[in-house]
Every structure is written in structure tokens, then in C-alpha cells.
Amino acid sequence: MSVCPARKLPLVATATFSLLLLPALAAAQSTPKFEYGKADAPAKVDPAKPAPPPKVEWKVQAKGGLLLTTGNSESKNGTLGLDASRKEGNNKLALTGAFAYGRSTTVSPIVTADMPPVIIGLDRQTVTTIDSWISKGRYDRFFTTNNSGYASAQAAADQIAGKTFYGGGQIGYSRQLVNTPKNVLVTELGYDYSYERYVQQTGKTIDPVSIQSARLFAGETLKLSATTGVAASVEALFNLNTEGKAINVNTGMPGVNAFKDTRINGKASLTTNLHKQLSIAFGFTLRYDQNPAPLPLPAGAPPGAAYAPNFVPFADKVDTLTEATLIYTFL
């Protein structure tokens, strides 16, 4: 059985400065969130006075963008995102949600059956180019200033990448190697469970896959000035189990061995404060999947169409996302 890589879809990377700075949009998987807990330094306690109750810290941020074009180029793209966290004493809970959707209209020729073919008209077809969402929750329990345990769960989908649903959970240990007012460096070691359900193809059944992985993470934040900071992180997931039902990208047949479905997520960003609660952020995200999902039928395929029995296209192994975003902090 032959295996054919999918043709790369063009990425849309547009930043429009007007009333809003619109984030760049890409027809790729939902952007994973790289977050880790940070404990405050222990406060000085006067033994003669009763200990004050733990301070409750709330943070809520919203971001979004909209891009509409008409005429020769017709497209509608939008993104929404919300981050919220609550920290009280040695406990922190963080919630994240994001949604991206886009449709574009392309022009295709209407040709005759003559040889050579003759174009007798033009047809416009509207296809969905972005359709993804993600939600995630994470709990951190700080044992000391630099040591903590974490547990998280997420649910997401990316129709364009062939996944109707993917989700799971993580648990592990987090250690702050550097913790200064200007620089924080964190490493994490843990376990990841992922469940993936795929877009079904005509005449074929693609079984869902469960993946158990070892998780390694490193992330650093650096404060450049009172208003500007940079951050970078990388997460690696190494599958520990044999995925008997997963379609192998190299053979087109079921069966992926342990350590043959490595996934790597990297992110870098720069954020600067514009005015009080308003900030602007520039970010770059890279996602690598050693054994990506089989691609669904492309939009616009005739009803009842199916891939040939010996043809198995897969999603690209590498996705990137470049974005510029306005962020408003409510709390």
C-alpha cells in the first residue's frame, strides 16, 4: 500500500492594525497551552500576631480577532480565547479556552472534455479552512516554593487535521530551577494520556487511538523591563505503548510501535504592556507529530467520493502558527 503525504495547505498569517490587532490564523491543530505554576516566596510572619488568611489571586484575560474580506478575495476568519486562574495559598487552578474558525472562497475552472480541455466558465467554491477548539484545566499544588505537583485535563478538536476529538490528562512533578523576580526556569516530568478520534472516510472506518506517553517539559520566562517580557517553552511526549489501531504513516497499515509517535510542542512569545490592562503579544508556535492522523476527504469532493484503496494521505507532521494579539486583563 502506497502512502502519499498531503499537499500543504497555505497558512494565513495576517496582522491588521486598526481598532483591533487581529491574530494570525493557520489551518492547523489547536494551539496547545504551555503553562506552569509559580509559587510566591514565603512571607515573613510575626509570631506574636495570628497568621493572616491566604491571599486569593484572580487573573482573567480575553483575546480575539476577526478578519473579513470580500470581492476578489473572500474569506471570514475569527478567533476567541479566554484564560483564567485562581491562586490561594499553595493551591492554583487555571482554565484555558480557545476557538478558531475560518472559511474561504476559491475560484475553480469549468472545463470541457475536449483534448486539450477548454475553460468555458468559472465556479466559486466556499470551503472551511480553519475549524478547531480547545479547553484545558490545570491544578498545581505547591509543596515548597520550588517544588509542586500538577494534574491537568483537556478536550479539543481539529477537523482540518482529521481529528473530531482529542483529549486526555496529565499528572507529574514540577521543579523551579531558577526563581528570581526577573527570571523563572521550570522543568516538569510526568505522564500523559491522550485519546484521539478521527474524521471518518467514505467506505473506511478509522478506529480511535489511545496513547500513553512520558512527558518532559522545560519553560522559561524572562522580564526584560517593567513592561516587557519574553517566554519560551518546549514539551515532548514519548509514546510508551504500542498503538495497535493507529495507521502507520510509513506503511499505511495499522500498528505504531512504542517511541514511534513522538509529539513535540514548542512556543516562544514576547509581551509588552501598552496601557494599564492592555497588552500586545507576538508569538510563534511549532507542533510536530511523528505519526499524524489520516486526512479526511478534502472540502468540495463529489458526494460519495472516496480515496483509492492503496492511497492514504496524512496530515503534515509539522504545523506552525505566528500571531500578533491584543490582550485585555480584566483582573
Query: Which of helix, strand or coil describes residue 259?
Result: coil
pTM exceeds cut of 0.95: no
Judge contact between 122 and 108, C-beta under 8 A. yes
Residue, of 293 and 327, whose pLDDT is higher: 293
Give the model's confidence band at 28: pLDDT under 50 very low, under 70 low, under 90 confident, else very high. very low
Taking residues 153-181, report their average pLDDT: 95
In angstroms, rounded to a whole number, what is the distance separating the alpha carbons of residues 3 and 234? 30
Q: Is the dihedral of CA 176, 177, 183, 187 positive or negative?
A: negative
Q: Which three cell numbers stand for residue 189?
A: 516530568
Taking residues 64-92, report their average pLDDT: 91
Judge contact between 61 and 327, C-beta under 8 A. yes
Closest by alpha carbon to 191, among 165, 162, 152?
Answer: 152
Number of H helices, E strands in the chain: 0, 16
In angstroms, rounded to a whole number, what is the distance separating the alpha carbons of residues 71 and 75? 10
Domains for the chain: give ranges and CATH numbers.
Answer: 2-35+55-298+306-329 (2.40.160.40)
**pLDDT 10s digits, 98-119:** 999 999 998 888 888 888 888 8
**pLDDT 10s digits, 273-297:** 998 888 999 999 999 999 999 988 8
Chain-centre distance for alpha carbon 290: 16
List Cβ neighbours of 279 (8 Å cut-off, separation of 6 or more): 271, 272, 273, 326, 327, 328, 329
β-strand partners of 328? 62, 278
Taking residues 320-324, report their average pLDDT: 87
The predicted pLDDT at position 7 comes to 39
List Cβ neighbours of 127 (8 Å cut-off, separation of 6 or more): 103, 104, 105, 106, 298, 299, 300
The predicted pLDDT at position 308 comes to 86
The predicted pLDDT at position 325 comes to 82
The predicted pLDDT at position 94 comes to 97
Closest by alpha carbon to 97, among 62, 135, 131, 139?
Answer: 135
For residue 147, give the amino acid letter: N
For residue 254, say if its preceding peptide bond is cis, omega within 30 degrees of 0. Answer: no
Query: Which of helix, strand or coil describes residue 162?
Result: coil
